[in-house]
Amino acid sequence: MVRIKNMVNEFKQGFSDYFLNINVIINILLLSLVYLSGVGLTTLLSRLLKKKFINSKTKRKTYWNNLNLKKEELNRYYRQF
Amino acid sequence: MYILGISCYYHDASAALIRDGKIVAAAQEERFSRIKHDMSFPINAVNFCLKSLNITANDLDYIGFYEKPLIKFERILFQHLSFFPLTYKTFLKTMPSWINQKLRIITNIKKNLEYKGDILFIQHHLSHAASCFFVSPFEKAAIVTIDGVGEWTTTSYGKGINNQINLLQEIKFPSSLGLLYSAITAFLGFKVNNSEYKIMGLSSYGNKNKKSNPYYNYLKKAIKIKKDGSFKLDLKYFKFHYSDKMFSKKLCDLLKTKPRNPNRPLSRHHKDIAAALQMIYEDVFFKILNHVYEKTLCSNLSLAGGCALNSVANGKIIRKSPFKKIWIQPAAGDGGASLGVAYFIYNSILNHKRNYVQDTCFFGPEFSTGQVHEFLDKNKIHYSKFKNKNELLKKTAELIYDNNIVAWFQGKMEWGPRALGSRSILANPLNPEAKDILNNKVKHRESFRPFAPVVCKEDAAEYFECDEPLPNPADFMLMVYPIKKKIQKILPSVTHVDGTGRLQSVSRKSNPLFYDLLREFEKLSGIPILINTSFNIRGEPIVCTPYDAYRCMMGTGIDYLIIENFLVKREDNLQDKW
pLDDT tens figures, B254-286: 999 999 999 999 999 999 999 999 999 999 999
Question: Residue A63: inside a domain, yes or no?
Answer: yes
* Position A19 pLDDT exceeds 90: no
Chain B residues in contact with A75 by the CB 8 A cut-off are none
Q: Smallest CA–CA separation between B127 and chain A, in Å?
A: 12
Residues of the domain holding A28 = 13-78
Mutate to test the interface with B, among A63, A71, A76, A79 (most CBs of B within 10 A): A63
> Cα(A56)–Cα(A54) distance, rounded to whole angstroms?
6
Specify whether the CB–CB gap between B49 and B15 falls below 8 A: yes
What band does B376 get if pLDDT is binned at 50, 70 and 90? Answer: very high
Question: Residue A4: inside a domain, yes or no?
Answer: no
> Cα(B521)–Cα(B112) distance, rounded to whole angstroms?
47
* Position B446 pLDDT exceeds 90: no
Instruction: Find, in chain A, the residue whose alpha carbon is nearest to that of B74.
Output: A81
Specify whether the CB–CB gap between B49 and B13 falls below 8 A: no
* Position B149 pLDDT exceeds 70: yes
The domain segmentation of chain B, as residue ranges, is: 2-135+331-349, 177-328, 369-572
pLDDT at B500: 96
Chain A residues in contact with B231 by the CB 8 A cut-off are 63
CB contact under 8 A, A53 and B78: yes
> Cα(B577)–Cα(B550) distance, rounded to whole angstroms?
11
Q: Smallest CA–CA separation between B176 and chain A, in Å?
A: 11
Instruction: Find, in chain A, the residue whose alpha carbon is nearest to that of B223.
Output: A63
Instruction: Find, in chain A, the residue whose alpha carbon is nearest to that of B176.
Output: A63
DSSP structural state of residue B134: T
Any residues with CB less than 8 A from the CB of B59 and at least 6 apart, and which? B2, B50
CB contact under 8 A, A64 and B169: yes
* Position B341 pLDDT exceeds 90: yes
| Closest Cβ opposite residue A80 in set B69, B153, B174 | B69
Question: Residue A37: inside a domain, yes or no?
Answer: yes
> 10 Å Cβ neighbour count for B383?
18
Mutate to test the interface with A, among B3, B75, B82, B343 (most CBs of A within 10 A): B82
Q: Which of B285, B186, B168 is nearest to B231 (CA)?
A: B285
Specify whether the CB–CB gap between B420 and B361 falls below 8 A: yes
> Cα(B145)–Cα(B122) distance, rounded to whole angstroms?
15
CB contact under 8 A, A70 and B123: no
Largest CA distance in chain A: 79
* B177-328 CATH: 3.30.420.40
Q: What is the mean pLDDT of residues B86-93?
A: 94
Q: Which of B573, B568, B541, B575 is nearest to B407 (CA)?
A: B568
Specify whether the CB–CB gap between B338 and B62 falls below 8 A: no
Sign of the CA dihedral with B294 first, then B298, B304, and B306 last: positive
Specify whether the CB–CB gap between B362 and B421 falls below 8 A: no
Instruction: Find, in chain B, the residue whose alpha carbon is nearest to that of A78.
Output: B120
Q: Smallest CA–CA separation between B133 and chain A, in Å?
A: 14
Question: Residue A5: inside a domain, yes or no?
Answer: no
Exposure of A17 by Cβ count < 10 A (0-12 exposed, 13-18 middle, 19+ buried)?
exposed
Q: Do domains B177-328 and B369-572 have the same CATH topology?
A: no
Can you say how many angstroms the Cα of residue B541 is from the centroid of all Cα atoms in its chain?
Answer: 12
In chain A the first and final C-alpha atoms are separated, in Å, by 58
pLDDT at B105: 96
Calculate the alpha carbon distances from B567 to B372, B482, B570 in Å. Answer: 11, 35, 10
- The verdict on domain B2-135+331-349 having CATH code 3.40.50.10210 is no
Specify whether the CB–CB gap between B440 and B447 falls below 8 A: no
Q: Which residues of A touch B (CB under 8 A)?
A: 27-28, 31-32, 34-35, 39-40, 42-43, 46, 52-56, 61-71, 74, 77-81
CB contact under 8 A, B79 and A54: yes
Supply the angle between the helices B177-187 and B268-296 in degrees, to the nearest 10.
180
Instruction: Find, in chain A, the residue whose alpha carbon is nearest to that of B161.
Output: A70
* Position B554 pLDDT exceeds 80: yes
Digit-coded pLDDT (tens) for A20-62: 888 889 889 999 999 999 999 999 999 999 888 887 666 789 9
The domain total for chain A is: 1
Beta bridge partners of B121: B65
CATH of B369-572, one of 3.40.50.261, 3.90.870.20, 3.40.50.150, 3.40.190.10: 3.90.870.20
